[in-house]
Amino acid sequence: MSENLTPENDPAARVTPASRQGKTSTRFIEHFVAPLEETPLAAVDKVDEEAAPLSLWADAWRNLRKQPLFIISALLIILVVVVAVVPQWFASVDPTSCTLDDSAEGARAGHPLGFTLQGCDVYARVIYGTRASLMVGIFTTLGVLVIGGIMGALAGYYGGWLDTILARLGDIFFALPLILGAIVINQLPAFRDNRSVWTVVVALVAFGWPQIARITRGAVLENRNADFVTASKALGLTPFRALVKHVIPNSLAPIIVVASISLGTFIVAEATLSFLGLGLPQSVMSWGNDIAAAQPQVRNNPGVLLWPAVALSITVLSFIMLGDALRDALDPKARKR
């Protein structure tokens, strides 16, 4: 049973002599409350209730701007793209003007990296070779995104026999190594006699799409039964339009991450094919061709091989770093704590 509190037994009150005369006076214990401006949690807990909620991409951009990894990789990629688009801004020497009088000469004024065995300026060839290598990487990535994205989206969304056929087809191509498959295709008469940037792109796309298809299929499977997809169908949207308007846009995050990393892989694949003499023709300046042509000078003049290899490594590393930064920003479960 609870005890009835009276002014006599209530510790929070005191009975004054006036209460004995029929008048009760109560005095409560005072509690200290810190002023609001002195509490540091006021600023931490402050929430702007009028601000609109951030979307996935807006939240990712806010996180990316704070990552040094993203800033460094983005600046390097922008530099590489500018060099590929306007190489004459960075090299005033014609890379095709080669004289045997300068054969294997060292660095001098106007030629900071020396000359090749044929007397070509190494610095100019590294600058002008950026375009072909980057074109192969970009167009190959676009090709595998289109083919692998379409096949993966259809397989994951519709399922059934279509998923079985496309999945088995992807497994067949996925079992073949990328470089080996590209070598076989480039040995076909139609490719061997007409080697160019586009033949290399086609050869790499033919064996590079299964990875994107698998990633797309998994992302679509995760989103196809989401509430917003069910709601769109209930509002009269056809399954195909629901796939295009809702499922695919919400499945792009992992696809973009894999594509950015794969771009660097395709640049390395082009350099490997050109090094083996099965990629770009010798008339096209690329880092792979320059590395292959520098083999006889490795002992006497290693810089001829070193500089195109350094340019290749920095470019590939930039895209890999960008992929890591995008993964941390777009996938909340993978963010570093």
Whole-number Å distance between alpha carbons of 29 and 143: 77
What pLDDT shows up at residue 266? 92
* 43-47, 116-120, 156-160, 213-217: segment of lowest average pLDDT: 43-47
Assign 47 a pLDDT band (cuts: 50, 70, 90). low
169 has a pLDDT exceeding 50 = yes
Take residue 249 and report the two structure tokens written for it. 């846009």
Please give the pLDDT value at position 13: 46
pLDDT, residue 106, reads 74
Is the model more confident about 281 or about 3? 281
Confidence of residue 2 (pLDDT cuts 50, 70, 90): very low
**Cα separation values, 171 from 166, 176, 213, 215, 242, Å:** 9, 9, 10, 13, 27
Could you give the percent of the chain with pLDDT greater than 70?
A: 81
pLDDT band, very low/low/confident/very high, at 15 (cuts 50, 70, 90): very low
> What integer pLDDT is reported at residue 119 of this predicted model?
81
Q: Determine the average pLDDT of the residues in 191-212.
A: 90
Q: What is the mean predicted confidence (pLDDT) over 26-45?
A: 60
Q: State the pLDDT at residue 33.
A: 66
> Region 68-86: what's the mean pLDDT?
91
Lowest mean pLDDT among 43-57, 183-197, 232-246, 286-300: 43-57
Q: Scanning the structure block, which residue is given the tokens 């586009």?
A: 198
pLDDT (mean) for 19-34 = 58
Structure tokens at 63: 């996180």
Task: State the DSSP code for 108.
Answer: B
**Do residues 144 and 181 lie in contact, with contact meaning Cβ atoms separated by under 8 Å?**
no
What's the pLDDT at 337?
46
The whole-number pLDDT of residue 201 equals 93
Domains and CATH numbers, the chain: 133-327 (1.10.3720.10)
| pLDDT surpasses 80 at 139 | yes
Which residues neighbour 23 within 8 Å (Cβ) at sequence distance 6 or greater?
Answer: none
The mean pLDDT value of the chain amounts to 81
Q: Which one is predicted more confidently, 53 or 205?
A: 205
Average pLDDT over residues 124-140: 91
Look at 7-16, 170-179, 287-296, 322-331 and tell me which has the smallest mean pLDDT. 7-16
| Average pLDDT rounded to a whole number, residues 222-250 | 85
pLDDT of residue 107: 74
Distance from C-alpha of 8 to C-alpha of 20, rounded to nearest angstrom: 11
Bigger pLDDT: 98 vs 138 = 138
Q: Residue 52: pLDDT band by 50, 70, 90 thresholds? A: low
Q: Using 50, 70 and 90 to split pLDDT, how confident is the model at 192? A: confident
Residue found under tokens 């067949």:
172
What is the mean predicted confidence (pLDDT) over 106-115? 79
> What would the mean pLDDT of 168-181 be, rounded to a whole number?
87
Please give the Cα distance from 114 to 121 (Å, whole number).
6
